Structure 1
């Protein structure tokens, strides 16, 4: 019994020592726990429950527009083509951000990470969304850059909102002045070409985007070195757009007449286009736009496709930089 009592006493002593050490450890750790809790609260304080933490602005009709805002310096905005999103500009954005420019690009409504509303899927809506981003970020003396459908967005922005916040404009493989064939535009593409795009989207948009990508980047031409990754990312970006939004955007980019918008350009403007553009033929668009925009300069890339932001990234970046610094 005496041995048991001694063992119990020793056990009790060890237990008290253990509890004492544990208590001391907890006491010592309380400030750190409190600090961690405070830090956690400060990190989550600005996050709205149920919504992802991202950069967005909300337009007057309640549509959330996602945007990227990198770097500091003179402002350059980027408006992307159909059916892509702002990721398509990262090759230009990184290049310019590293060279002293502030670069801003948004996902068009219905595309990428922006809302997919049932209304506003037209050039007026797109231009007003661009205006909302520019005004929310209070961007001034900006160079507006638009590719393909984004070129139409830039043109309509200037037509509707003027150039009080604009220093320069760049249209790259852009859809203005108008794509569809009509009595007033006999050189345009027949409406059946755009009906076929809509039919392909409605039937199997995933396969349609896979089939469309080679034309977009000229990968169907002999000697093309377009990577599979480039083609795959086109499919990925396309699939992020809502079907309704992508479908309605076809009418917006093909049937909108930007003639009067282009006549309102009163800032230095650069028009860049690939001479082998299978999506937006150069003779129906860029060549005519240069005639309509007072003082516009043009650069045409021999043998280049529609997706020159990717296929001719280095050349385009150099030309953009030179124009920005001129």
Structure 2
């Protein structure tokens, strides 16, 4: 049986687990009070989308020139991996994994394998520009879709949990990168997944991981589901959001009607929560496809785990590992202060804040991230080879401005104006 046939078979088996004896899709129990709140949420969501439509109609047209195609050459986000496979999680959920081997003309040596874990409502496609750069630099790269996202299976409602994601990541590493040095990179929920892995397998971190990057993430102990609405309203979103999303997932026609008004509305919403500077239309489209391609009930199932998330104690296992913490200064989902405790609890960790950057930094400022990752890996491998005591390094916080991108945007705007 081919891997694609096995994947389809396992996906069908997994879907069956999420259904009741009647064969109907599993539904979350919603109390009468929550049903009222959910109904209110649906009304607010519909009203919000309608309002966004009016705003977007003018704003998207007005700012269209800021999302210039020249920022991304044709085919920039296309990529074919060397290997696609399915790794079976410890509870039977199929996880979609892709592996890239080093470029044939790259001097590889003994470079570590880099493992990427994506964020909530995204997929492994979010790392496309980083994986291309790393394989050119001679690294083996592993990317995977977290359960319920991308091409991976979904599992039960109870399995949509950060600790389970940590076990999933361990299975991926066990299957496709069982030996050799590792670099772990996690964005948002993916960073939390890395922390859960360390909590469960500290020996793996100690023995094999030479460097780790936490991108736009949090160790917990703070209100994570604020969505840019502030502390009070953010708590309401975290508390009642699952019920609202579950109700919406039962009414796909409402969602389709809201989005049928046009891509402009979708792009407006994506730009509001994802970016803080001009990005090419293809980046907005890719991000929108990942976000709106995530089932609403999967979003609902995961929201409670963010409110419970607290992996501050697990950070001790990264002592002695070269650690880089990255944030966008205009990230409305996980602003820089959400990551400060990671830096505080890991001696020698570096904190880099990128100006004019939102939550999806890897697509908004790819060259900056590529440069930061290259430096991180070089420091980590050198420290491992020379026995450098990373914990004795002073804590460093730097602010980085993507001047090269600023110049490209300004040049393109001038050219467009003259045209």
Shorter-chain TM range is 0.7 to 0.9
8 Å Cα contact 1:152-1:253 kept in structure 2: no
Provide the C-alpha distance between the structure 2 equivalents of 1:304 and 1:128, rounded to a whole number of angstroms.
Answer: 31
Q: Aligned match of 1:157 in 191, 197, 200?
A: 197
Superposed CA deviations along residues 243-269 of structure 1, whole A, max 9, x for unmatched, are 332222222234301211123322111
In 2: Cα distance, 1:178 partner to 1:228 partner:
36
Larger radius of gyration: 1
Instruction: Describe how 1:68-83 pairs up with structure 2 within 5 A.
Output: 68-72=98-102, 73-83=111-121
Does 299-308 or 200-209 show the bigger shift?
A: 200-209
CA distance in 1 between counterparts of 2:347 and 2:332 reads 27
Structure 1 window deviating more from structure 2 (309-318 vs 199-208): it is: 199-208
- Which residue in the other structure is 1:23 paired with? none
**Structure 2, gaps ≥5 residues long:** 9-82, 103-110, 249-253, 260-264, 380-419
TM-score, with normalisation over the residues of structure 1?
0.76
Aligned CA distance change for structure 1 residues 47 and 129 (closer, same or farther; 3 Å): closer
Q: CA deviation at 1:107?
A: 0.2
The equivalences for 1:210-249 within 5 A come to 210=266, 212-218=269-275, 224-249=277-302
- Determine helix, strand or coil for the equivalent of 1:55: strand
Q: 1:144, 1:168 within 8 Å by CA — same for their partners in 2?
A: yes
- After TM superposition, the structure 1 = structure 2 runs for residues 138-287 of structure 1, keeping only pairs within 5 Å, are 138-162=178-202, 163=205, 164-180=207-223, 190-195=234-239, 197-198=241-242, 201-202=245-246, 203=248, 210=266, 212-218=269-275, 224-266=277-319, 267-283=321-337, 285-287=338-340
Structure 2 residue aligned with 1:59? 89
**Structure 1, 141-150 or 203-212: larger mean CA deviation:** 203-212
* Structure 2 CA distance for aligned equivalents of residues 133 and 50 of structure 1: 17
Among residues 92, 98, 113, which one is paired with 2:130 in the alignment? Answer: 92
- Give SS of 2:318's match: coil
TM-score by length of 2: 0.60
Distance 2:224 2:5 in 1: 49
3-state DSSP of counterpart to 1:264:
helix
* C-alpha spacing 1:100/1:181, structure 2 compared with 1 (3 Å): closer
Q: Deviations over 1:95-118 (max 9, x none)?
A: 101110111010001111000111
Q: Cα deviation per residue 1:60-82 (whole Å; 9 max; x = unaligned)? A: 21110111110244211001011
In the TM superposition, structure 1's runs of 4+ consecutive aligned residues that sit over 6 Å from their partners are: none
Q: Which stretch of the first structure deviates more once superposed, 137-146 or 47-56?
A: 47-56
Q: What whole-Å deviation, never above 9, does each CA across 1:16-50 have from its counterpart, x for those lacking one?
A: xxxxxxxxxxxxxxxxxxxxxxxxxxxxx645647
Give me the whole-angstrom Cα distance separating, in 2, the residues matched to 1:171 and 1:315.
15
Alpha-carbon distance in 2 for matches of 1:181, 1:60: 28
In structure 1, the gaps of 5 or more residues are: 1-44
- Work out the CA distance in 1 between the residues paired with 2:84 and 2:331: 35
Partners of 2:4 and 2:282 lie apart in 1 by: 35
Contact kept, 8 Å, 2:224 with 2:334, in 1: the verdict is no
Distance in 2 (CA, whole Å) between partners of 1:81 and 1:148 is 5
**Residues 224, 333 of structure 2: 8 Å contact kept:** no
Tell whether the 8 Å contact from 1:175 to 1:254 is kept in structure 2 after alignment.
no
How far apart are the structure 2 equivalents of 1:47 and 1:319?
35
Residues 175, 253 of structure 1: 8 Å contact kept: no
SS at match of 1:146: strand
Residues 112-171 of structure 1 show CA distances to partners (whole Å, capped at 9, x for unaligned) of: 100011141101100000000001121432110000111111111111111133221110
RMSD, aligned CA: 2.7
